[in-house]
Structure 1
Amino acid sequence: MRKLLLTVGTVLLMAFTVNAQNQRLCASDEVFERQNANPKTLELRKNVEEHTRNFLAKGGKANQRTGILNIPVIVHVIYNNSQQNISDAQIQSQIDVLTEDFRKMNADVSLTPSEFAPLASDIEIEFSLAQITRKSSSKTSWGTNDAMKSSAQGGVDVVSPDEYLNIWVCNIGGGILGYAQFPGGPSSTDGVVISPQYFGSIDRQGAGENFYLSSPFDLGRTATHEVGHYLNLRHIWGDGNCNADDFVTDTPTAGGANYGCPSYPSKSCTNNGGYTSDMFMNYMDYVDDACMYMFSAGQKARMDAIFEPGGSRETLGTSTGGCTLAAPSGLSSSNIGDNSFTLSWSSVSGATGYDVSVDGTVTSTSGTSTTITGLTPGTTYTTKVRSKCASGSGAYSANLMVTTTGSNCSTGPVTLSLTLDNYPSETSWTLSKDGSTVASGSGYSTSGQTVTEVFDFGSGSYSFTINDSYGDGICCSYGNGSYSLTDANSTVIVSGGNFSSSENTSYCVEGGGPAPDTQAPTAPGSLSASNETQTSVDLSWSASSDNVGVTGYDVFVDGSLDGSTTGTSYSVTGLSSATTYSLSVKAKDAAGNMSASSTVSATTLSSGGGGSNVLLSSYFESGWDGWSDGGSDVARYSGTRSYEGSYSIRLRDNSGTASAMTSGAMNVSAYDQISVEFYFYAYSMENGEDFWVRYYNGSSWSTVATYARGTNFDNNTFYVATVTIDASNYAFPSNAQIRFQCDASGNNDQIYIDAVTVTGISGGAKSAGNSITALDMERRVVEADNGIDIDGFNMYPNPTVDRISLMVDVDEDAEVHMVIHDVQGRVILKKAWNGLEGVTKLDVDVSSLEKGLYFVRVSDGNGLNDIQKLIKR
């Protein structure tokens, strides 16, 4: 709930913070660049990179460390409130996660796609907790200027950074999860900083504990990511676009950060080393904690370099033989009584014994089962087990929650009654059984509403957590919100409402019905549209999977249910011609669970015996707009050599595809012609030097147009050109592509390509052929103190999304007419107004027009009769 009226500025700041907390935000690169402003630091960093390159050039083998490196960790907790003063158990859970992730002992590494699985590597680094310091502070946030690392500024000074990894746990603010100092920085600030709600793992929260963690960054992977930076790893996308590098050879080039939980494959750069996907599951990307689970072999080699003689972290940690055993699998319970239960698990090859942890108390055994005694009736215990070898211990298994029998357990089913306060959207809750979420609630909108949920998931141990995003509970100053859990005997398990950010209650259930199926199927894969006609589109996809079984698929058109099928294909009919639709498919199971949507866009063909569809409109203002970067002689350019807006694509040299920009695949099988219109500007091209437009017919490339300096164009002039490709001369496949390629001879010979429109044409709307026209250098309306000087009429913005402005030069007072035609000559829109002598202006709303190419005619009866093309995005 809100405590005060917020100014606009505060609202905007909070909006930014909420957004940042929904997506991973790391400030390591920002701190890296800031520190590099110091010439001494910059020189040290150059030395670190030179040492790393030399090490890698020798195959990463010279003087390579052997055994397992153990890094001792000192954690400095600086807190403003009791939540931020996180428990020793939460801190230890983070140290455990670091060891498992860097040793490849994390269970979820098995989710690595087969393409990358051979690259997933054991970094052979373990971490041990050496010391915890705690300090109370009046500061509510610390920012990224390293003040928390200085006692003079209210923080805690670094301790022996050559021997210890120092981690400061404090509220950074601004939605930043954490940041690290790369090797080569000042020793007085060396280490890692992480906000407390992202330090530790909820998976290791034991019974009676209440870790302060925030989903979806609550599995300890923020520390894994930041320690990666601390050990000299860059972000997986190199903090740039498809031309940037993270200095690791076996990580695919990526165009930027990935967020959330992407579906594999997800590829952002065409030329990424031959991989089918970004390696978004890598710890150095920005995905949620649950979706990152591997380092690569190349990243290991890069980290190894800094521990070698002469390396920047040569003195950090000590090497031992280590234990490379995996975590035991198959942990289960049996013979559960009031005061005891038996644990058993699968054997691990090479293990000399096992450590068994029950609520943090560890005992050892040489076998694969043990009976735990002396327990309390009706109590939930957190258990886990790890394998041991002669030189150390392996990783712990995932937690197993076991509840003893006895009078302390409730009788199911259990009923939740939740009355919301005046700010219902801030309230959410989750219910977990044996460590896995089985129910949740959020997104409430009605204040004072009472919500009732019945939980009938069978016997077992449960954990109920209620959250308030503003941190003031649901009672009592801003509405009388409350909640309660009641069992089948009307016994109240818990009730309340007066808490801060969250409140957690653990309980056990005996009796009750079988657990219902609550698991949704996976989303349909590889959804594609094909065989577009004027009124129909065919859809196909790969089958979904489900824990019980998929019973069918629902198909949606622009969000509305169109029909269902049990197969993996569907024909959508009854559509309108020349219209773009959003088509979605969801899988469903017998229990009514629905998967997430898979969505694709498709455009139907035009009617009237012929027409056109815009297949690709690229203006490069926000990115590459569906085109791929050929390489070193191609770049996205911002400046006055761009025709439309600020950006265009610059081509230079004659280095083959490295001097080319290439479109994505387009389905042109339904068309008679393809029209490629583009704007270009030449700079410093020598006489006879040229560039080409090329076409891919599904199997090979052909040059369909050549433009030479001195014959077709001159330098320092804008041109618009149209290339027509006819189905009578070329094959029209479902995967056609267009390529612009420069054939100049030197780096100073450049072509700038802008505003590319690829149109599929059928029937009577065929194009007349190729054309090229020089354009007025003053392509935009220029407003100056002495008025506006134009000839005929100008139209802007073009291309447009929702409106255009017409500036018309009227020789004398007259009625001015504006007519918009489509490519078939049909009148789409008319306007008329009284124009006074001089320049007159008219604003026209074109938001109702479909995307595509139009012609705008302006006339005034006194000699003005001009036509210009309009592109509607």
Structure 2
Amino acid sequence: MTNQVNNIFDPLGLFAQAYFWRIDEYTSTGTVKGSVWNFSVPSAFVAAPAIVNTPAIDISDSSATIGGQITDGGTGSKVWMYWWPDAGTTNEVYMGVQAGAFQLQLSGLESNVLHNYRCFAENSYGSNWTTVSGFTTTNSGSEPPSIWTELTYDDFESGFGNYTDGGANCFLYTGGTYAHQENNAVNIERFGEAGSFYLTNPIDLHTLDYTQIKIEFWFYAVSMDPTEDFFVEYHDGSTWQRVATYARPDFNNGQFYFKEILIEETGYTFPANMNVRFICDASGGGDDVYIDEVRISGLAPQVELSPYNEWLVEFNLSETNILADSDFDGMNNLVEYGLGGNPTNIDAPIVLPTSGIDADTGMNWLEYVYRRRTDAAVRGLEYRVEAGTNLVEGVWLTNDVQEVASGLIDAGFESVTNRLDIGLDSESFIRLRIQQN
């Protein structure tokens, strides 16, 4: 160890053995040696620090906040952060001893430039680098930067979540020991599709124009032999393609590992039905891999969406056609959007207009009530109640329909009441037409 400026020294990790130490004082007349002390460590959690980048936040034209997260069993690790503008000089910052999350604020950055960063952590048991992450500073008045959007995340505490098991050699593990956090993980063993799991519902990468996909996960291996491995596959809409292989001796049994896979649109097709699966390639039932905390993110330009497209994103709809009926409840997307329906649930009886006969002042009125967005004009929506005397001629008019009342349902919708004088007509028909301009 080196000279100390105080009376505290942290070795950042000890092994299970005996240790001896003393304190020497250096003076102008010589060295005064202290007494020898000793202690023993009966057991130790020996693990090099696992470190990952955290997403950049507070991004502006000239500043951003970057950081990382350490998992080292509480040992503590020395951390360095490195960042650089694309094709520029690398900057190094020593962050001191860290345990858990840490952040670094950057300033004086050039606008509209891609900046990269990564972290390095070291303790007595070893060291690790993170993969490279990036962010683009904004440029006021120009298009917004690209951002990562989380598409799926599963920690498997409530089951398989977004995934389906591939067969008899894939299990939901609930024992805790091999789960990176809490109790559950997905256990795959042997080989082939039976020892795999994949996304139940494919992800649409095409509609929102993603340019890059990131797959992050933790894994823990048990009894995997030197010739055994597991891999991650990407489905491009037509075929499965292997995008990562993890084989002994690149990892050791009995230790947690974090992995990140980047898939670029320049090298792969980004379809409307992308899928991901994890598959084991081992020889026996006792050779196991446990997968936990799987996150899939997409990188796309952050563009200003129209109100209708924001609504599509809110309900995670891949079918953008306004005439599509995604939940088969008789209301197309435009009707659902205009009346405040949920396009993923059958809710027509709740949101469709209601009607009835109302006798008032000696006249017969057909009363018709519907839901209307309070900001319909901003959204470019037009609501028109039309009436007709038969369905054969197809003549629909608004002349005789009167809007007589309206009242707030909530901040986004109001209830609108209309009347039609049906007089002595043998038949009268009324309908609501919603149009998007």
TM-score by length of 2: 0.35
TM-score by length of 1: 0.18
Higher helix proportion, which one? 1
